[in-house]
Amino acid sequence: MTHADARPPTKRTSAGRTTERPVPPWAMRIVRLLPLLALPVCLWRLPIGFGYMMGMDVEPLPVGILGGVAYVGALSVLTELAAFACRGLVSWWGEVVPDWVPRLGGKRIPPVVALVPATIAGLFLLFLLVDWVVCTFHLAGFEDGPWDNQGWRILAATVSGLFCSWGLLVPALTYAYWRRRCR
């Protein structure tokens, strides 16, 4: 698909802004999917904060209930914020600083400002995906941790696998951003 084939975004912001060049429809679908792919693992973590280890044959977190809830709660919120940040790769505010930002409002964002962190995050997430595949399928002697039974193991592999799919999706969004902004 070329840039000429891509449709412009159909949804406009309240300011009526759209991106400089059209965003591929597949990139818009991916960015809407990211928070939903992270939600199962975010919900999976919450009982762990309360000391219920979700079938893992390990000791609860040594920080107590309050510390555990704060830790997994913050981790879940940061995960969903990362999904929201990925929207900048397909939105106008990933190209131009919003007007309400003092001194910088309305200025064009150099593509490298978004591409460097998105590439680093994409590579890290790709590493997590490879780690998930190697551990889940017991490749090269790696294991995925002690489980009470196979049901918990399958459930854990499913919810973490959905999140690990970001390892393919974030680099794809980064590539679409690069293609749109730099070519």
Position 169, amino acid: L
Q: Quote the mean pLDDT of the chain.
A: 90
- How large is the greatest C-alpha to C-alpha distance in the chain, in angstroms? 57
What pLDDT was estimated at residue 9?
43
- Measured in whole angstroms, the distance separating CA 12 from the mean position of its chain's CA atoms is 23
Domain ranges of the chain: 25-182
Taking Cα atoms as reference points, which of 10, 34, 6 lies closest to residue 22?
6
Quick one: pLDDT at residue 8? 44
Quick one: pLDDT at residue 10?
42
pLDDT at residue number 144: 87
Look at residue 15 in the predicted model and tell me its pLDDT: 55
> In which residue ranges of the chain is pLDDT below 50?
1, 4-14
User: 80: burial class by Cβ within 10 Å (0-12, 13-18, 19+)?
Assistant: middle
Contact 79, 41 (CB under 8 A): yes
pLDDT attached to residue 145: 82
SS (H, E, C) the chain: CCCCCCCCCCCCCCCCCCCCCCCCHHHHHHHHHHHHHHHHHHHHHHHHHCCCCCCECCCCCCCHHHHHHHHHHHHHHHHHHHHHHHHHHCCHHHCECCCCCCCCCCCECCHHHHHHHHHHHHHHHHHHHHHHHHHHCCHHHCCCCCECCHHHHHHHHHHHHHHHCHHHHHHHHHHHHHHHHHC
